[in-house]
Structure 1
Amino acid sequence: MKIGLRHIRYFIAVADELHFRRAAVQLGVAQPALSRAIQHLEQELEVVLFDRSNRNVRITDAGRRFLDGCKGIMNSVEHTIEDARRVHHGQIGNLRIGYTDMAIAGVLPTLLKAFQVQEPRIVLQPHHDVTSRQLQKLDEGVLDIGCVTGPINRSGFEQLPIQSEKLICVVYESHRLADRRSIHLEELAHEDFVHGPTKDWEHFYSYLIPLCRKSGFIPSIVQEAYNSAGILGLVACGMGVTVLTESSRKTLPNGLVPLELDGVTERLQTVALWKTDTMTGSKSLFIDYLCRKSREDGGVS
């Protein structure tokens, strides 16, 4: 059957106007060409769509039924075209975003929520993982953007700081230091520490270990847990102390006490990280959004 969108557009115009000349003017075509197109359509369908007379044009019952379907077709085509344009501009699609414990406990939820309001047709797919594994997944194309402990110096990647946090110490409530509001890092020299595995937490350790060395000791890590929740749970069991970022205050289990670290000015930075050779529309939109938020907020603090 040789029917195209042109025939459907022509038919809808005549059905709306019930006048071939006015429909031809609306469409910007010659009236004879319009009449031939409608005749061809009727021949292909083997139905009469319009009753014609010298004075008027009347749509038939078959024509009315056909009109309902044609309007649905044109609406579907218009939506499909608009969706294709939105995909091209990144306004429809999926965005796979990695995050660390520090990122999700800090500013990231607010950023994602505001972006979702701005771009509701982009599906956000957050994935929790440590920095080292996020870097691997970014290399493999499993993630679009990572929110990792930075800064990261890697060829082919760009980054944007999204969060900067102080470090704090966390002890259990019966610990000898629990009645203090703040301590110096060197006071932890002989303490047992609870932390993440060295391989998985290497980027966090790039902050912690140099700080401890400056204070004259290397932390003795006696227990390990994969994430911050596990670390804090072990500290609550009295198995040691830990040093984490200030965002961990929000999720402290009962029986734990946060302590400020006097004299420690270094701040742990979380950065959004992405590969520059795999830019999609939705990824570009999210990066533009992060850059705009950074300018509006005056950067991270």
Structure 2
Amino acid sequence: MGPTRIGIRHLRYTIAVADAGGFRSAAEALNIAQPAVSKTIQDTEKDLGFAIFLRAAGVFEITDAGRVFLDDARLTLATFERTIRASRQNELGARGHIIVGYSALATSAQISAGLDRFHKRYPGCQVEMHVMSTDAMM
């Protein structure tokens, strides 16, 4: 068995077929032609070396191996989508980690008000606070 050609599209289509209970319904949900869904699933099964779905006249079932594959496919897709969201948030400055140095002379009200505004704008960013001398902050 050689390297796999299975990608995110294959996972999305396979999950859509399972969730929709069939190829036609999955194609409608994905807003693509049904033959494209069927071909993608066939390619996926060929690459995997096992059937994900049993197809017979009027019967549609997920195989045992298909259930295992789908469980992991869902986790993989969720992780992939979370990674994309986090990367986009990071690029926009909405995620990350910053270290803020502040003077011992700053009041807690000043610090608190500033942190509140910052956290509202960047809720995914961790802030680490350190009391520092003015010289150390430069």
Q: TM-score, normalization: structure 2?
A: 0.86
- Match among 41, 46, 54 for residue 51 of structure 1: 54
Q: Does the aligned pair in 1 maintain the 2:96–2:124 contact within 8 Å?
A: yes
Write the distance in 1 (CA, Å) between the matches of 2:97 and 2:115.
15
User: Match for 1:121 among 104, 119, 124?
Assistant: 124
Q: How does 1:71-110 map to 2 (within 5 A)?
A: 71-103=74-106, 105-110=107-112
Mark the structure with the bigger radius of gyration: 1
Q: Using the alignment, how far apart are the partners of 1:19 and 1:106 within structure 2?
A: 60
- Matches of 2:102 and 2:40 in 1, distance apart? 58
The structural deviation recorded for 1:120 is: 4.0
* 8 Å CA contact retained: 1:94, 1:123: yes
Relative contact order (C-alpha < 8 Å, sep 6+): which is higher? 1
- Consecutive unaligned residues in structure 2, runs of 5 or more: none
Q: Aligned-pair RMSD on alpha carbons?
A: 1.8
Alignment of 1:234-249 (within 5 A): none
**CA deviation profile, 1:88-139 (whole Å, cap 9, x unmatched):** 2211111221111111x4433322552465344211122322223312xxxx
Task: Name the counterpart of 1:111.
Answer: 113
Contact 2:119 2:125 in 1 (8 A): no
Give CA-to-partner distance per residue, 1:241-290, whole Å, 9 cap, x none: xxxxxxxxxxxxxxxxxxxxxxxxxxxxxxxxxxxxxxxxxxxxxxxxxx
- The answer on whether the counterparts of 2:99 and 2:127 sit within 8 Å (CA) in structure 1 is yes
Identify if the C-alpha distance between structure 1 residues 101 and 59 changes in structure 2 by more than 3 Å, giving closer, same or farther. same
Maintained 8 Å contact 1:18/1:56: no
Deviation at 1:13, TM superposition (A): 0.8
- List runs of 5+ in structure 1 lacking aligned partners: 136-301
Q: TM-score of the superposition, structure 1-length normalised?
A: 0.42
- Greater strand share, 1 or 2? 1
Residues matched between the structures, number: 134
1:11 and 2:21 are equivalent in the alignment: no
Cα contact 1:99–1:128 (8 A) shared by 2? yes
Q: What is the aligned-residue identity percentage?
A: 36
Higher helix share: 2
